[in-house]
Amino acid sequence: MHKFTLGIEEEFQVLDSDTFKLRSQMSKIIDGGKVLLQERIKEEMHQSMIEMGTNVCENINQVRDEVSYLRQQIIKLADAEGLKVAASGTHPSSLWHEQLITSKPRYDEIVEEMKDVARGNLIFGMHVHVAIPSREEGLEILNVARYFLPHLYALSTNSPFWEGRETGFKSFRSKVFDKFPRTGIPPFFSSVGEYDKFVDILVRTNCLDNAKKIWWDIRLHPFYPTIEFRICDVVMTVDEVTCIAALMQCIVAKLYKMHKKNQTFKNYRRLLLNENKWRAARWGVEAKLIDFGKEEEVHFNQLMNELLEFIDDVVDDLGCRSEVNYVYQMLEQGSGADRQLKVFEQTGDLCDVSKYIVQQTKKGL
């Protein structure tokens, strides 16, 4: 069986230890971390953001070890500089226009092209790479995996606040990112040739210089042999990271297995999938999503149970049963957004929400 290796990228907030507001000081952490972590710690366009990327992980246990190790190191480096690290899709109260932009040709170019859309893109996500046998197989899997994106997204919702306001959304991060071009759920592509032709037209007409500027919720990675899931908010705890990554790995493995047996799974139109994505952003794990087979609304819990049944025959092969079963705990305790809102309801103080996120980011390390 193909090895569905994994890689995780997490974007973290850099906060002031006293105010728990964003601080444009990632360079202090990066300078200390480069010696120890090398390519696994990266700067981002906003100086109040820092990205961590795991090595290639053979299985979900390695994912847990890597993510835990990287979080431990980044927290330690931040503490030494009087800073804090937080995992949330948006900061509860900081203002985007007060954050500094990293001066680098790549970022300068993006800001020059997109102006305030780029400057205002102060959001924090989690990207999960799952290895694929070939681009052809990958595209077949990707076309179908689009159906499950709202399920995964609802679980990850962790950005209910924006610039000091309760937005009414469980994930406002995607609403901010929607202003960028080439975002959202991708269209169906009938072949790799069709996909490559689409990218080629964009490159030739100066829409982009390479396929990395396609920022869809799921994509064939332009340089690595992976499918990259990009839809999720960065989640608060390591348990949530490993659960969602395990689900993604299982979905890819299951669809590959079906493809090998010439079994099909219906492809639904992007317009329908977008309805479910909107509901996931608005209500998270409390959403009613549309079951397109039955053509009716069903509670999110029911769709999650169906997803768990669907992937059940690959879970033990991948050795991730306990990580996948953590879904039940996530449904019980609510997503990160639900927990942030609960703290705000109890205290009425967004600074307390940020303190809670900082504490949760360390949980289980």
How many Cα atoms sit within 13 Å of 252 on the Cβ side? 31
Is the dihedral angle over the CA atoms 192, 196, 197, 202 positive or is it negative?
Answer: positive
* pLDDT number for residue 199: 87
Q: Judge whether 283 lies within some domain.
A: yes
What CATH number is associated with residue 11?
3.30.590.20
pLDDT at 239 over 80: yes
**Average model confidence (pLDDT) for the chain?**
95
184 in the Ramachandran plot: left (φ > 0), alpha (ψ -120 to 50) or beta? left
**DSSP letter (8 states) at residue 287:** P
Q: Judge whether 210 lies within some domain.
A: yes
Report the number of distinct structural domains present in the chain. 1
pLDDT at 32 over 90: no
How many Cα atoms sit within 13 Å of 337 on the Cβ side? 31
Q: How far apart are CA 260 and CA 133, in angstroms?
A: 12
| Position 112, amino acid | E
Structure-model confidence comparison of residues 350 and 214, the more confident one: 350
| Stretch 218-246: mean pLDDT | 96
Q: How far is CA 4 from CA 55, 59, 104, 218, in A?
A: 14, 8, 34, 16
Q: Judge whether 307 lies within some domain.
A: yes
* pLDDT number for residue 39: 85
Q: Judge whether 1 lies within some domain.
A: no
Q: Around Cβ 189, how many Cβ atoms within 10 Å?
A: 17
State pLDDT tens for residues 187-206: 999 999 999 899 899 989 99
| Stretch 46-58: mean pLDDT | 96
Q: Judge whether 192 lies within some domain.
A: yes
pLDDT at 212 over 90: no
Q: Judge whether 215 lies within some domain.
A: yes
Query: Given the structure tokens 């202003």, which residue do they identify?
Result: 179
In which band, very low, low, confident or very high, does the pLDDT at 1 lie, cut at 50, 70 and 90?
Answer: low
Q: What is the pTM of this model?
A: 0.97
Instruction: State the residue range of the domain holding 121.
Output: 6-362
Alpha carbon of residue 38 to chain centroid: 22
| Stretch 235-260: mean pLDDT | 97
State pLDDT tens for residues 82-123: 999 999 999 999 999 999 999 888 888 889 999 999 899 999
Q: How far is CA 187 from CA 2, 119, 182, 197, in A?
A: 26, 27, 11, 14
* pLDDT number for residue 257: 96
* pLDDT number for residue 264: 84
* pLDDT number for residue 362: 98
Q: Closest by alpha carbon to 273, among 288, 292, 254, 287?
A: 292
Q: Judge whether 255 lies within some domain.
A: yes
Q: Judge whether 13 lies within some domain.
A: yes
| Stretch 40-44: mean pLDDT | 88
User: Beta strands 125-131 and 41-43: pairing type?
Assistant: unpaired
In which band, very low, low, confident or very high, does the pLDDT at 176 lie, cut at 50, 70 and 90?
Answer: very high
pLDDT at 2 over 70: yes
Token couple for 118: 């780029």
* pLDDT number for residue 96: 94
State pLDDT tens for residues 303-361: 999 999 999 999 999 999 999 999 999 999 999 999 999 999 999 999 999 999 999 99
| Stretch 267-290: mean pLDDT | 96
* pLDDT number for residue 299: 97
User: Beta strands 183-184 and 215-216: pairing type?
Assistant: parallel
Q: Closest by alpha carbon to 228, among 132, 136, 123?
A: 132
| Position 56, amino acid | V
Q: How far is CA 11 from CA 4, 26, 48, 199, 271, in A?
A: 23, 12, 10, 26, 29
Q: What dihedral do alpha carbons 298, 299, 304, 309 form, nearest 10°?
A: -50
| Stretch 244-251: mean pLDDT | 98
